[in-house]
Amino acid sequence: DSGVTQTPKHLITATGQRVTLRCSPRSGDLSVYWYQQSLDQGLQFLIQYYNGEERAKGNILERFSAQQFPDLHSELNLSSLELGDSALYFCASSFRTDNSPLHFGNGTRLTVT
Amino acid sequence: EDQVTQSPEALRLQEGESSSLNCSYTVSGLRGLFWYRQDPGKGPEFLFTLYSAGEEKEKERLKATLTKKESFLHITAPKPEDSATYLCAFFPYSGAGSYQLTFGKGTKLSVIP
């Protein structure tokens, strides 16, 4: 158990809808990361927050947004969903933002129908 | 553009048959490299961090090594429970507080009893 909690585990929704994925980092970790994993693309970095502040952005679509709250949990909001957004979404956390390994949750599997 | 490539994509081994997985990278400035193990439906689990060429780390039947151009994950006398996808990820020098890992697509290892 990595200590990173993600909810829900599974989400099935229709195209055009909006969903929110939630992540609680490991106790003491200040940085939260979101990754998308699809079969053909592997793990793709979306966005990083550190202590409530956005620090790095990767290949995140404009339809997607995230935030980190004062209690350090994070939410990833996905809107105007398309079939191609179906994927596993992982949250990870780390204590520092230099050479600390990331610790991953078990992901949310999103299926858009 | 920074890139990381893993080979082979898939590997089937008989129990006890040792082999190596490769992770090659082209990055502008490498601070270090991680190895992760991912089981189906789970998040990646941290295995090793390597920082400099010549460094080696070991854990049970796994040994990770790093050169200036690539990293190897050696698996000695594997068992069926070693079956998983193995991912490598590098972390470059980056701006203050910005910490973005780039993952390879992984090697799916199957160990047959």
Q: Do A106 and B43 touch (CB under 8 A)?
A: yes
Beta strands A10-13; A108-112: pairing state: parallel
User: Is a pLDDT exceeding 80 seen at residue B1?
Assistant: no
With CB atoms and an 8 Å threshold, state whether B49 touches A99. yes
pLDDT value, residue A45: 93
- Give yes or no for B99 touching A (CB within 8 A): yes
What are A76-89's pLDDT values in tens digits? 999 999 999 999 99
CB-based contact, B51 to chain A, within 8 Å: yes
**pLDDT in the model for residue B38:** 97
* The pair of three-digit structure tokens given for residue A13, joined into one six-digit string: 């929704």
Q: Is the pLDDT of residue A12 over 70?
A: yes
Per-residue pLDDT of A57-76, as tens digits, reads: 998 999 999 999 999 999 99
B35-78 pLDDT tens trace: 999 999 899 999 999 988 999 999 999 999 999 889 999 999 99
- Reference B42, options A106, A86, A33; nearest CA is A106
pLDDT on residue B95? 63
Position with higher pLDDT, A15 vs A95: A15
Residue from the list A42, A56, A109 with its beta carbon closest to the beta carbon of B98: A56
pLDDT (0 to 100) of residue B97: 65
Residues of A in contact with B105 (CB under 8 A): 41-42
Residue-wise pLDDT tens digits, B71-112: 999 999 999 999 999 999 988 766 666 678 889 999 999 999
8 Å CB contact of A48 and B98: yes
Rounded to whole angstroms, the Cα distance separating B112 from B49 reads 28
- CA B79 vs CA A1, B8, B39, B42: distances in Å: 22, 19, 15, 20
Q: Is the pLDDT of residue B34 over 80?
A: yes
Tens of pLDDT, residues B3-22: 899 999 999 999 999 999 99
Number of Cβ within a 10 Å radius of residue B78: 22
Q: Give the closest residue to B8 by CA, choosing from B89, B85, B107, B88.
A: B107
Residue B59 CA: distances (Å) to CA of A88, A98, A113: 28, 23, 42
What is the structure's pLDDT at B65? 97
What's the mean pLDDT in A96-110? 90
